[in-house]
Structure 1
């Protein structure tokens, strides 16, 4: 039986809201077959933390490794999606209440942020849901190696000292930001997360998917 695959990557368009004081990405056609060119050729100009992307330790840790050094065994494998539809921020008590299975190493957070992708015209929202610094410590203490969220940052807007990012990246936790979790239900999945392999870079755009588990087969009655 075929397993359902969910693409949780935002379709790249310069219209996606971006953090203040970051450059606007461009996607332009340099050659056009309709104008007589032999082929179509496009150019992409973007910073690496736009739309769906992965943060490497180097993003906030001066001597941290780059995106090309993140092991594939962290980016691929079983994960758990948990849903926080009503929270303004996620604290350790909220994570604890979800009874996340012991041994979980990849955790995806679905929040009310997902609905923000329905309307890009509202621009960047500073009231997005994110982890508190205490929740980041909970994640580290549970041995989670990858955590993802459905807005452009795992950290609350203008968090003093950037504590959440620094704690997670300093502990080698991979951050996947800008996920599109509309229509995704809480539960177990297989995660595929493939950022561009940019040498020594602090992050990279990524294609991310969730694969539903195989249905449980009923035995003979």
Structure 2
């Protein structure tokens, strides 16, 4: 049997969003009642709510939307590395204990317990030099358990710009609280949203 880790936070009206972004809301177009056999709802949300994949369009005006991305980076061998409490930036030295023979995907845990009920203005992010060195090591996708790979107040988005320049993909808002360090298979496929700058994912890890 294979063990499965669900590394996606719950998504509902209580889900934190980046200040100014669109929160999750849901309304009912139809509800089960005499003459109506089904419940049908409509939802409104930013594609950055919950666990999500950023598309190049998010940080590059000429970037491709999420629905046009190759799915291969979001599926396959992955390493989870703990850098708990490393703020404001995760440096290469914080990962150095676990970077030997890296697989193409790296997810970094920074929280002891992920914040699921409020936005963290002091979130941990990647130092751009860390992204550069991960790319040099052959990593194609990076992920983090915070809302952004850049500090919340960043305007330059230096780590996003490294991602853009080096052609990496990114996952944000993961929940890695109960995941031991080590190697897994990642499955975190974005939706085929053909004009969107990001997509929610149901991110899971599994290992034999």
Question: With structure 1 as the length reference, what TM-score do the two structures score?
Answer: 0.87
1:64 paired with 2:63, answer yes
Q: Does 1:195 align with 2:194?
A: no
How far off its partner does 1:28 sit?
2.1
| 1:74-112 deviations in Å (ceiling 9; x for gaps) | 1110100001123112012222x2231324210011111
Which consecutive residues of structure 2, in runs of 5 or more, have no partner in the other structure? none
**Any stretches of 5+ residues in structure 1 without a counterpart?**
215-221
Once the two structures are superposed, residues 105-142 of structure 1 have per-residue CA deviations (whole angstroms, 9 ceiling, x without a partner) of: 1001111164323xx1xx21111111012212222222
Contact 1:104 1:144 (C-alpha < 8 Å) held by counterparts? yes
The structure with the largest helix share of the pair is 1
Q: 1:31 to 1:52 in 2, by over 3 A?
A: same
Partner of 2:128: 133
Name the residue aligned to 1:210.
205
Asked if the contact 1:75/1:191 (under 8 Å) is kept, the reply is: yes
Q: 2:150 aligns with which of 132, 148, 155?
A: 155
**Counterpart residue number, 2:93:** 93
- Number of the residue aligned with 1:37: 36
